[in-house]
Amino acid sequence: MKLSYRHKWYHFIWRWLYSLVLLALSPIFLIKLFSKKADSSSLEWHKNRQRFGIYPKNFKPNGLLIHCVSMGEVNAAEGVVRGLIKSHPSIPITLTCTSITGAQQAVRLYGNLVQHAFLPIDFPLFNHLMLTRLQPKGLIITEVEVWPNLVHQCYVHKIPKILINARMTSRSLTNYKKLAFLYRPTLRKFDAICAQGQLDFENFINLGVYKRQLHLSNNLKFDLTASVEDEGKANMFAETFGVENRTVLLGASTHEGEEKALLKVFKKLKCTHDDLLLILVPRYPHRFEEVAILVNAMGFQSTTVSAKNTEKHNDVIVVDQMGMLKAMYRVSTLCFVGGSLVDRGGHNPLEAALYHVPICMGPSTFNNPLIVSALTKAQALDIVNDEDSLFNSLDTLLNDLIEAQARGEKGHKVIESNAGATQKTLAIIEESIA
């Protein structure tokens, strides 16, 4: 028997209590939004307006609305977005984010192929202004960015809603169950939910999502391909900084505390691997200068990508430009993926596997448990607990580069064996919006 969502009177009460909480927090939103000075041409200026549902008048309506939280989700959804552009060339696509880094990546990937915007704060009036302006034929949300008021308004206006690459880890399930009175009815309003993996599928059912809504589409992040643009960036970087014949350790998407730990480990590794080069790619642009100062304070010969100081034999290069990470994997021998030695859940290690690079991560990996598990089982990824174990893991790989290369190959095979989620997801979207 097929079940469909039925609105209950108390769902209205919970949703409006949620809205009142947002209203109470609105002064904090306002302070945060307007704390940075922005001119009318900057992304910050557009973000400030669009977070209140004020969209440009030249935005084309009657298209698809796709929401990706930040850079990771924008990258993961690339295949789906390009597939929709190809199959529906006459339908405008509006891609929204909530972060500046996500918006910048969307601009880099698609240019004028899509309309770029920021998603409004999840308050009924702001959502109403956005939906009235865009009049979307369908709402597509990536991973687990579920906003109760937005989903409800789309439900009321009979706009198809699809949650793609949907993630529901055991940790997320525990948190969602605490607010099940709000999120269970919200999730039941989706026309389709494409689960990343079997565990996510089962956790959605455990939360109360109807089985007929769910599809096991697998993880979009496995559908990675090397781009010509990234190859060009890698070749230019290698030529500029002379890294072709050097052994390169990459610190990818690092957070505060991780750079210092990596630099300490790197200093010990340099005692026996003199030609080793460390490339640091901080996760957030506002930390570029901070990390460069830290590197200099610890006494390393260093430069930044923007400075292009190649007159000396650099120990460390800080990548202080966005959109360079995939290219850095291309020139690396081995890597550490950040957000994992600190409690941030770890970033996606598949880009390293795409370029056959062996991987180390810390113990915090709850953002991508299935990916980390698959790579660990394939012996392409080492989980380390602290600086000492990180040193031991990297030192072992550096002492046997043939084994390091073999581990990189195993990681690439994991990608090959799990590809195909994009086509499954596109088929489900087409069926839902038909």
Q: Which of 73, 78, 143, 258 is catalytic?
A: 73
Hey, which residues does 304 pair with through a beta bridge?
Answer: 318
Question: How far apart are the C-alpha atoms of 360 and 368, rounded to whole Å?
Answer: 14
Judge whether 389 and 354 are in contact, CB under 8 Å: no
Judge whether 54 and 26 are in contact, CB under 8 Å: no
Between strands 93-97 and 64-67, the pairing is parallel
Question: How far apart are the C-alpha atoms of 92 and 434, rounded to whole Å?
Answer: 16
Of 356, 60, 418, nearest in space to 221 by CA: 418
Hey, which residues does 250 pair with through a beta bridge?
Answer: 279, 335
Q: Which amino acid is at 422?
A: T
Question: How far apart are the C-alpha atoms of 147 and 128, rounded to whole Å?
Answer: 13
Judge whether 108 and 324 are in contact, CB under 8 Å: no
> Positive or negative CA dihedral for 102, 108, 110, 116?
positive
From the centroid of its chain, how far is CA 69?
7
Kindly state the tokens that stand for 310.
């190649």
Residue ranges with strand state E in 31-100: 64-67, 93-97
Question: How far apart are the C-alpha atoms of 164 and 136, rounded to whole Å?
Answer: 17
From the centroid of its chain, how far is CA 270?
32
Q: Is 239 a catalytic residue?
A: no
Question: How far apart are the C-alpha atoms of 382 and 368, rounded to whole Å?
Answer: 15
Judge whether 114 and 106 are in contact, CB under 8 Å: yes
**Beta-sheet strand order (sheet of 192-195):** 115-118, 93-97, 64-67, 138-142, 161-166, 192-195, 214-216
Three-class DSSP category at 9: helix
Catalytic residues: 73
